[in-house]
Each structure stands twice: as structure tokens, then as C-alpha cells.
Amino acid sequence: MIGAFHQPTRVLADVGVLDSLPNREFAAGMAEVIKYGLIRDCPFLDWLDANMAAINARDADALIEVIRRSCANKAEVVAADEREAGQRALLNLGHTYGHALEAELGYGKWLHGEAVAAGMCMAADTARRLGWLDEGQCEHIERIIAAAQLPTAPPRELERARIRALMARDKKVTAGTLRLVLMRDIGHAVVTRDYGDALDETLKRYFEN
């Protein structure tokens, strides 16, 4: 059975379990929720924006909707691409940046969701430099992430050469070229290797050295 692919017929979740989480851990989980809105579900992102106060207060009805919409989005992506040959890679928005931050900071210094949140903001900046997002959209993304009590930028004292080298080890490297998950628009993400100098310009913005 190990390694077999079988899509579930249903997902059961007890939202009351979330009450056992510290605030920081709860917020970290919200990074993955916001990701679905950014890569494929604008109406969900708008709903998150309008209901973040209730979500942060762990209102049961709000949490049920968060889980329902997140599970539905992931199920659609995974069912269409079980073996991560294409579309499923979009679930890694912010992760290439975030994994590099986690590795450089030391695992546990930042939670995974915190690193992914900052990574999604960095990805938005890279997309802006490509002309895919505008400044207002980047600010909108940062505002939603900040409302979820998540960081919108990495620690500035990290060395960008180290972050760039760590990103080069990402699983999305093929034939020696790093592919990035970027937003062509809010709600529409792509996997691309055609980002030119935009990535390096993003790293210069976020890191002093």
C-alpha cells in the first residue's frame, strides 16, 4: 500500500481541535490557507480578507468555511495532478523562498507558515518586477498576510547570496534551472523559469548584504 495513489472520498475535520493551538501556530497554518486564494481562488481570498477578524478569533463558523474551501481547492489540484507533473507544483507558492529562509535561520527559529508567508510576499515582489502584478496588488497581498498575524518580509540581516544558493537546491530545479511559482495575477499562478533578473532584484530589496 505504501506509495499507492488513492483520492479520499471525504475529509473529516474537528474544528474544535484548533482551539488547542497557540496563536503563533494557528497563524502559521493560515499561510497555507491564504495561498489557495492567491494561486487559484480570488473569491476565497476576498472572503478571507473580509472575515479575518472572525478567523483570528477562531469563530467556529468561520473556521468551518476556511477548512471547507481549503480542502476543496487542494482536492481539485491534487486530483488533476496526482504525481506533481504540473499543476500541483502551484501549491508551492512562496515555498521556494520560504524553505531557504527556514534553512538559513535554522529549523524552528521561524515556523514553516511564517517563512511561507514572507516567501509569498517575496514572490509577489518578483511578479511585480516582471509586470505581472502592480504595486497595489502587492500591498493588498501584504495586508491580508499581516492581518493573519504573519510576517510580510524576512529578517534583513540574512545574506542574499546564501538565500539564493539555498533556493538553487529546491526540488523545482530541473536541468540546473530553478523554476519559480509566481502570480501572473491574483488568483492565477504559474510555474516559470523566465524571470530574468527579477529574482535577484527581489533579493536585493529584502536583504542588506
Read off the CATH number of the domain in which 140 is found: 1.20.1090.10
Evaluate whether residue 120 is within a structural domain: yes
Give the pLDDT confidence of 7-55 residue by residue, as tens digits: 778 888 999 999 999 999 999 999 999 999 999 999 999 999 999 999 9
User: In angstroms, what CA-CA distances link 117 with 80, 92, 200?
Assistant: 25, 12, 19
Evaluate whether residue 53 is within a structural domain: yes
What is the number of other CB atoms lying within 10 angstroms of the CB of residue 86? 10
Burial 11-47, CB ≥16 within 10 A → b, else e: eeeeeeebeeeeeeebbbbbbbbbbbbbbbbeebbeb
CA–CA distance, 127 with 91 (Å, rounded to integer)? 16
Q: Helices 160-167 and 198-206, interaxial angle, to 10°? A: 140
Give the pLDDT confidence of 138-186 residue by residue, as tens digits: 999 999 999 999 999 999 999 999 999 999 887 666 667 889 999 999 9
Number of structural domains the chain divides into: 1
Give the pLDDT confidence of 91-106 residue by residue, as tens digits: 999 999 999 999 999 8
Q: What average pLDDT does this structure show over 98-118?
A: 93
CA–CA distance, 122 with 38 (Å, rounded to integer)? 13
Q: Does pLDDT of 84 surpass 70? A: no
CA–CA distance, 195 with 202 (Å, rounded to integer)? 11
Domain range spanning residue 112? 22-206
In degrees, rounded to 5, the angle at the alpha carbon of residue 95 between the alpha carbons of residues 11 and 178 is 130
Evaluate whether residue 7 is within a structural domain: no
Distance of CA 99 to the CA centre of its chain: 11
The pLDDT assigned to 108 comes to 81
Evaluate whether residue 16 is within a structural domain: no
CA–CA distance, 121 with 97 (Å, rounded to integer)? 10
Residue 78: pLDDT band with limits 50, 70, 90: confident
Q: What average pLDDT does this structure show over 102-113?
A: 91
With a CB cutoff of 8 Å and minimum separation 6, the contacts of 7 are 75, 78, 79, 82
Q: What does the mean pLDDT of the chain come to? A: 91
Q: Does pLDDT of 61 surpass 80? A: yes
Residue 5: pLDDT band with limits 50, 70, 90: confident
The pLDDT assigned to 7 comes to 75
Evaluate whether residue 200 is within a structural domain: yes
User: Are 155 and 149 spatial neighbours (Cβ–Cβ below 8 Å)?
Assistant: no
Evaluate whether residue 133 is within a structural domain: yes
Evaluate whether residue 174 is within a structural domain: yes
